[in-house]
Amino acid sequence: MSHDHDHGHDHHHDLAPEGFWQQPRRLGEGLEGHGATDDFNEGRAPGLLFPNRKNEGGFSGIQTFAKLPVALTPDDLRAAKVDVAVLGVPWDSTATGRSGTNHGPLAIRACDYKGGYGRPHFSLDTHVDAFEELVMADYGDAPISVGNTARTFEQVRKFIGTVVDAGAIPIVLGGDHSITWPSATAVADHYGYGKVGIVHFDAHADTGSDMPGSLASHGTPMRHLINSGAVPGKNFVQVGLRGYWPEQETLDWMDDQKMRTHFMAEIIRDGFDKVLERAVDEALDQADHLYISLDIDVCDPAYAPGTGTPEPGGITSNDILRAVRRLAAEVGIVAMDVVEVSPPYDDRGEITALLANRAVREAMTGIAMHRQGITEPDFLHPYAIGLDADGNRRNQVFRRA
Ligand SMILES: [Mn+2]
C-alpha cells in the first residue's frame, strides 16, 4: 500500500489504492482474485448444486433466490450454461441516509413464499415461464471488506465481471446504490466502454460530484460511470426523479452529458405508460447493451418504505414491475441491479423486499420473452386480458330466458 504525503492527501485516503480518489479512474486495477470460490468442496465437478428438496415450499428450507440451485464459481456457471445468475452485494457503508441495505440481499431472497424449483412458475400476465425457459442460479454474495470502500468496489467489479465473462446475465441485489459503479463498470469491461446503456429508475439522479466529503457514495455512482467513460451520459435514461435534489449546477452538468431524464412531474402530467414508451424508445436508440438499475425508492414509500432515502410522491409497484418486464422483453438486458432495500426500515409485511423480489422475477420473465422472440410492445397474453383463443371475450353474462 502506498500513500504520498507530499501531495497533501487527507489521511482517510490512505486505505485506497493509489489513484482511487482521482477522477476519472477505472475500477478493477490491481485486484488479485475475484472471491468466487468454493472453499468447502475442493475438487468437486463444476455444475449446479441443489440445496433444496423438490417439495420444500418457497417459504421454507434453504433460502436461495426462488429456491434456485446454487453456483459458486465461474466454472459452475460455464458447466451449467447458466443464463441468469442472481447475486447479492451486501454493502451499505456508502449510504447517506438510513442504513441497513447490507441486509437487502438476504431479505429479498427470504421474503418469498412461491413454490420451489422445478414447479410451474409462469407469469399470469404473459404465460411465459422463465424457470422453464432459462437456466438460472443463485450465485451467492460478492465479497465485502467492511469499512474499505475501495477494496470492496474492486472485489465487486471483479466478482460481477466473472459472471458476465461466463456468459450469464447478472441480476444484482443491493446494497446501497453506490454498487452500481463497480457493477456497471464490470459489465462495460466485458461489452466495451461506451457500449452499455443504463435505464435508471430512481427518485434521485445519483449524479453528485462529491458527497459528503467522499467520492464514493450512493449519491455519486452515475457521475463516476460517466467520468470514467464506462457508461457515457448519452447512454443514460433516468425515470422517476423528484423531491429536492440535486441542485441546478448538477442538472446543468447532466444536460451537458446529454443524459435523458424523466422527472416525476412528466410522469404525473403525461401518465406513466406514455413516459415508459419514451424510455423504451430511448433505450432502443442508445447503446448496444442495456443495464437496468432499479433503486427501489423510485416507488412511493407507500409501496417501498424500507429504503434509505424515501421520497414521497413516486410510482406504483405495478408501474415498476411492468416497466422492468417491458424493457427486458422489448429491448433485452445484459444486467440489472435492484438496490436500496433496507430491511430494518421495511414494514412487517416486508413490502419493500417483496417488491424487489418481484421486480427480479419480472426481469426474468422479460429475459425469457426476449429469448422466445416476444418483443412486441406491451405484450400481454390474451387470456390475461379476458379473451379466448379466438380473441372473443371469455366472460359473458348469461341472462335467464
Ligand atoms: Mn434513490
CATH number belonging to the domain at 58-385, selected among 1.10.3720.10, 3.40.800.10, 3.40.50.300, 3.40.50.2000: 3.40.800.10
Query: What single-letter amino acid sits at 383?
Result: Y
Q: How far is the CA of 388 from the centre of ligand 1 (A)?
A: 42
Q: Is 182 helix (H, G, I), strand (E, B) or coil?
A: helix
Weakest-pLDDT range from 243-257, 280-294, 318-332, 340-354: 280-294
Q: What is the pLDDT of residue 1?
A: 36
Measured between alpha carbons, how far is 7 from 146 in angstroms, rounded to an integer? 27
Q: How far is the CA of 297 from the centre of ligand 1 (A)?
A: 5
Q: How far is the CA of 389 from the centre of ligand 1 (A)?
A: 43
Neighbours of 360 (CB within 10 A): 23
Q: What are 73-125's pLDDT values in tens digits?
A: 999 999 999 999 999 999 999 888 889 999 999 999 999 988 778 888 899 99
Cell of 392: 372473443
**What DSSP state is assigned to residue 302?**
T
- Average pLDDT (164-192) is 96
Q: How far is the CA of 219 from the centre of ligand 1 (A)?
A: 8
Q: What are 122-150's pLDDT values in tens digits?
A: 999 999 999 999 999 999 999 999 888 88
Q: What is the pLDDT of residue 398?
A: 80
- Average pLDDT (259-285) is 95
Q: Is the bond preceding residue 182 a cis peptide, omega within 30 degrees?
A: no
Q: How far is the CA of 162 from the centre of ligand 1 (A)?
A: 27
Nearest one of 184, 226, 231, 201 to 334, comparing CA atoms = 184
| 8 Å CB contact between 367 and 112 | no
C-alpha distances out from residue 248 to 253, 269, 369, Å: 9, 22, 40
- Average pLDDT (306-325) is 97
Q: How far is the CA of 92 from the centre of ligand 1 (A)?
A: 13
Q: How far is the CA of 177 from the centre of ligand 1 (A)?
A: 7
